[in-house]
C-alpha cells in the first residue's frame, strides 16, 4: 500500500474509533500514525487499541506508528458551594489553598507551585481563557486578583498561567505510570505535554530508556522562548495550538506555528501541526472552508504531519475526517505553487558528510530522470536527512529494524520497507531496486538513487551514493562481487 502524498496524517483513537473495522477503515482512508490519548481511557482500553493496530499492520504488511500522548499536570480550581458563580469584570477575586468550597469572592487553587511562581501583574486564565484575571498581590498561599474578563466559573475548571515558568515537572505521577505502561506496550513515540524547558524532555528520555522516541508538545509561552534548546533535546515536535492560543494572543499563533515548523525542518526532526484542524467534522460530514485552508497552510509550510483529535476519536465522522485530510493533502501537493514554496523555504546548514550525501541525492534526482531516493538506515537519521531536503521524488527508507520503520512513519515523504540484514552495498542496491518496482515507484527501465553507509549496520556512517538501474540483471552485470 502506497500513499500518494508526502505529508503524514495522525488520527487519534477514542470511543468513535476503537474496533478493528473502524481503525482499519481509518488506516485505509489515509492514517499513517495512530495517537493514543492517555488523558482518556483506561490502560486496558489503550492496550486493546494497540493490539488492533498491530494486527492491521500485520494484515496489510505496512508499518504503522503509534503515538502515546501523555496528559501532563492538570491545573484546576476547587469546587464552589453553588456549583458555579458569575464573575463580573472589575470584581475582586481570590485564589488560595483553603479547601473550603468557593463563592463569588474566592476559590481553592490546590497548586502551591502556582503561588510560588506568581508575581503581581501576572495573568491567570480559567476555562481555556474564557475568564481572565490579573494578580494584584500574592503570597505563598494566596493570590488576590482583579477580573479583567468576566464569565461563569464552575467546579474544577482548568487554569493557565502564561506569564511565568512554573516550578512543575512536565511528568505527573500519572504520566510516569502511563509512560512506563506505553513503553512496555511498545509504542513508537511519546508526546510530552507541559514542556517548559529542555530538562523536561531529558527526564522523559531517561525514563523511556530508548524504548520510544520523544516528541515535545509546544503549548506554553516558556516552551516557545526555549524552543531551540527543547528542539535539540527532542526527537520531534508537536505544535499544540490549543493551549498556545489560550496562553498567547491568538493572532500570534500563526507566525509562531511557521517558526516552529521551519525550526524542526531545519533540524531534520518531524513536526506535527495539531488542534482544531477539522473541528466542525466532529458533528458535520463536511468541514468549513476555513478549516480546509488551515490544513492546507500547514502542508504548504512543509509540516511532516497534520493531526486529528476529537474529529477521529469522538466525532460522528472519523473516516470522513481522515478522507478529507487526505484529499486536501493530495490537492495541495499537486499545486505547482507547493513546490515553489517548499523550495523557497529550504534552509539547511550542511556540516557533515551525510548532509552532503543527501543534498547531492536530491539535486541529482531533480536534475535527471530519477524516480526515487532509496535510503538504507539503522536509526532513521539518513531518511530524516533526505526528508529535510523535501525532494520532488519519493523517498524509500529500507532497514531490517521494525522500530525504525515505525518511527519513520511520522516523517514527511518516507515510504518504509523492511529488508533482511544486509552486509554488502551491491545487495543494498538490489533491495532498493526491488522495493522501487514492487511499490510502483519505478519500472525496470528506470533509475534510482541509493544512499547508504559503509560499513553496513553501523549508525551514523552515511557516506556513499549511487545512481543505479532498477533492472537487477544490470546491477549484477556492472557490480563485481
Residue 144, domain CATH = 2.40.33.10
pLDDT tens, residue by residue, 123-134: 999 998 999 999
DSSP string, 414-466: EEEEE-----SHHHHHHHHHHHHHHTTS--TT-EEEEEEESSTT-TT-EEEEE
Whole-Å CA distances, 141 to 133, 156, 167, 428, 472:
17, 18, 15, 65, 74
DSSP string, 397-419: EEES-HHHHHHHTTSTTEEEEE-
pLDDT number for residue 330: 98
pLDDT tens, residue by residue, 56-77: 999 999 999 999 999 999 899 9
Residues 318 and 370 occupy one common structural domain: no
Residues 53 and 120 occupy one common structural domain: no
Q: What dihedral do alpha carbons 202, 33, 180, 51 form, nearest 10°?
A: -170
pLDDT number for residue 460: 72
Residues 365 and 444 occupy one common structural domain: yes
Looking up residue 450, the CATH number of its domain turns out to be 3.40.1380.20
The answer to whether residue 474 scores a pLDDT higher than 80 is no
The answer to whether residue 481 scores a pLDDT higher than 60 is no
The answer to whether residue 456 scores a pLDDT higher than 80 is no
DSSP-derived pairing of the beta strands 189-192 and 213-218: parallel
Decide if 187 is inside a domain: yes
| Cell numbers describing residue 296 | 492546507
Q: How many CA atoms lie within 13 A of 333 on its CB side?
A: 23
What is the band of 458 on the pLDDT scale with cuts at 50, 70, 90? confident
Residues 230 and 298 occupy one common structural domain: yes
What is the band of 222 on the pLDDT scale with cuts at 50, 70, 90? very high
pLDDT tens, residue by residue, 309-328: 999 999 999 999 999 999 99
Closest CA to 150 of 91, 75, 81: 91
Decide if 227 is inside a domain: yes
Closest CA to 69 of 324, 210, 240, 206: 240
Residues 58 and 127 occupy one common structural domain: no
DSSP-derived pairing of the beta strands 213-218 and 395-399: unpaired
Question: How long, in residues, is the chain?
Answer: 481
- Domain total in the chain: 3
State the Cα angle at 382 between 377 and 385, rounded to 5°.
Answer: 160
Determine the Cα–Cα distance for residues 458 and 453; give it in Å rounded to an integer. Answer: 7
Decide if 455 is inside a domain: yes
Residues 387 and 468 occupy one common structural domain: yes
pLDDT tens, residue by residue, 36-59: 999 999 999 999 999 999 999 999
DSSP string, 311-329: HHHTSS-HHHHHHHHHHHH
pLDDT tens, residue by residue, 251-265: 999 999 999 999 999
Residues 456 and 410 occupy one common structural domain: yes
State the Cα angle at 251 between 250 and 252, rounded to 5°.
Answer: 90
Kindly calculate the radius of gyration of the chain based on its CA atoms and give it in whole angstroms.
24
Q: Under DSSP, is residue 476 helix (H, G, I), strand (E, B) or coil?
A: helix
Which stretch of DSSP H or E encloses residue 158? Answer: none
- DSSP letter at 13? E
DSSP string, 44-73: HHHHHHHHHHHHHHHHHT---EEEEE----
Bridge partners of 85, per DSSP, are 153
Q: What residues are annotated to the active site?
A: 35, 76, 217, 275
What is the band of 480 on the pLDDT scale with cuts at 50, 70, 90? very low
- Residue 405 in contact with residue 415, Cβ under 8 Å? no
Decide if 314 is inside a domain: yes
pLDDT number for residue 351: 83
pLDDT tens, residue by residue, 163-184: 889 998 899 999 999 999 999 9
Residues 266 and 407 occupy one common structural domain: no
The answer to whether residue 478 scores a pLDDT higher than 90 is no
pLDDT number for residue 477: 65
Closest CA to 205 of 196, 192, 193: 192
pLDDT number for residue 80: 97
Give the max Cα distance, the chain. Answer: 85
Q: Which of 25-39, 335-349, 406-420 has the lowest mean pLDDT?
A: 335-349
Residues 324 and 358 occupy one common structural domain: no
pLDDT number for residue 407: 98
Looking up residue 68, the CATH number of its domain turns out to be 3.20.20.60
Where in the sequence is the domain holding 96, given as residue range(s)? 84-160
Decide if 30 is inside a domain: yes
Among 335, 362, 380, residue at a domain's last position: 335
Residues 106 and 45 occupy one common structural domain: no
Decide if 357 is inside a domain: yes
Residues 427 and 467 occupy one common structural domain: yes
Q: In percent, how much of the chain has pLDDT > 70? A: 98
What is the band of 459 on the pLDDT scale with cuts at 50, 70, 90? confident
Between 477 and 2, residue with greater pLDDT:
2
Bridge partners of 66, per DSSP, are 34
Among 117, 140, 160, residue at a domain's last position: 160
Between 319 and 347, residue with greater pLDDT:
319
Determine the Cα–Cα distance for residues 451 and 462; give it in Å rounded to an integer. Answer: 7
Residues 192 and 329 occupy one common structural domain: yes
Determine the Cα–Cα distance for residues 119 and 186; give it in Å rounded to an integer. Answer: 43
Among 92, 127, 160, residue at a domain's last position: 160
Decide if 250 is inside a domain: yes
Determine the Cα–Cα distance for residues 322 and 324; give it in Å rounded to an integer. Answer: 5
Decide if 229 is inside a domain: yes
Amino acid at each position: 500500500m502506497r500513499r500518494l502524498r508526502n505529508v503524514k496524517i495522525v488520527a487519534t483513537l477514542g470511543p468513535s474509533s476503537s474496533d478493528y473495522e473502524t481503525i482499519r477503515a481509518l488506516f485505509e482512508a489515509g492514517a499513517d500514525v495512530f495517537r493514543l490519548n492517555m488523558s482518556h481511557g483506561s490502560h486496558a482500553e489503550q492496550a486493546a487499541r494497540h493490539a488492533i493496530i498491530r494486527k492491521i499492520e500485520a494484515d496489510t504488511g505496512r508499518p504503522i506508528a503509534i503515538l502515546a500522548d501523555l496528559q501532563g499536570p492538570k491545573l484546576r480550581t476547587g469546587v464552589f458551594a453553588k456549583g458555579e458563580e458569575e464573575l463580573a469584570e472589575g470584581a475582586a477575586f481570590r485564589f488560595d489553598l483553603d479547601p473550603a468550597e468557593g463563592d463569588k469572592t474566592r476559590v481553592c487553587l490546590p497548586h502551591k507551585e502556582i503561588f510560588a511562581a506568581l508575581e503581581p501583574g501576572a495573568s491567570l486564565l480559567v476555562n481555556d481563557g474564557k475568564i481572565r484575571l490579573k494578580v494584584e498581590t500574592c503570597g505563598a498561599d494566596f493570590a488576590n486578583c482583579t477580573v479583567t474578563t468576566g464569565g461563569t466559573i464552575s467546579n474544577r475548571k482548568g487554569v493557565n498561567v502564561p506569564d511565568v515558568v512554573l516550578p512543575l515537572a512536565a511528568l505527573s505521577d500519572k504520566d510516569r505510570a502511563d509512560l512506563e505502561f506505553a513503553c512496555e506496550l511498545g509504542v513508537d513515540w511519546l508526546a510530552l505535554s507541559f514542556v517548559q524547558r529542555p530538562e523536561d524532555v531529558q527526564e522523559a528520555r531517561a525514563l523511556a530508556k530508548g524504548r520510544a522516541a520523544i516528541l515535545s508538545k509546544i503549548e506554553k509561552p516558556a516552551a516557545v522562548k526555549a524552543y531551540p534548546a527543547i528542539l535539540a533535546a527532542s526527537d520531534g515536535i508537536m505544535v499544540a495550538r490549543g493551549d498556545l492560543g489560550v496562553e498567547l494572543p491568538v493572532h500570534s499563533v500563526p507566525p509562531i506555528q511557521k517558526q516552529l515548523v521551519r525550526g524542526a525542518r531545519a533540524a531534520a526532526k518531524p513536526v506535527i501541526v495539531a488542534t482544531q484542524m477539522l473541528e466542525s467534522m466532529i458533528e458535520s460530514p463536511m468541514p468549513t472552508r476555513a478549516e480546509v485552508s488551515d490544513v492546507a497552510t500547514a502542508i504548504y509550510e512543509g509540516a511532516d504531519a497534520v493531526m486529528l483529535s476529537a474529529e477521529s476519536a469522538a466525532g460522528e465522522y472519523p473516516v470522513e475526517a481522515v478522507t478529507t485530510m487526505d484529499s486536501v493533502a493530495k490537492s495541495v501537493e499537486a499545486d505547482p505553487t507547493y513546490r515553489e514554496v517548499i523550495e523557497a523555504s529550504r534552509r539547511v546548514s550542511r556540516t557533515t558528510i551525510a548532509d552532503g550525501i543527501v543534498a547531492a541525492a536530491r539535486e541529482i534526482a531533480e536534475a535527471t530522470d530519477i524516480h526515487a531516493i532509496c535510503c538504507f538506515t539503522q536509526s532513521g537519521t539518513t531518511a530524516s536527512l533526505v526528508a529535510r531536503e523535501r525532494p520532488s521524488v519519493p523517498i524509500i527508507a529500507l532497514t531490517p529494524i521494525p522500530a525504525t520503520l515505525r518511527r519513520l512513519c511520522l516523517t514527511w515523504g518516507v515510504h518504509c520497507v523492511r529488508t533482511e540484514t544486509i552486509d554488502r552495498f551491491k545487495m543494498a542496491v538490489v533491495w532498493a531496486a526491488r522495493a522501487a518496482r514492487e511499490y510502483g515507484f519505478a519500472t525496470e527501465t528506470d533509475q534510482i538513487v541509493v544512499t547508504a553507509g559503509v560499513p553496513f549496520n553501523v549508525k551514523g556512517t552515511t557516506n556513499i551514493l549511487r545512481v543505479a538501474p532498477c533492472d537487477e540483471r544490470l546491477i549484477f552485470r556492472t557490480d563485481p562481487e
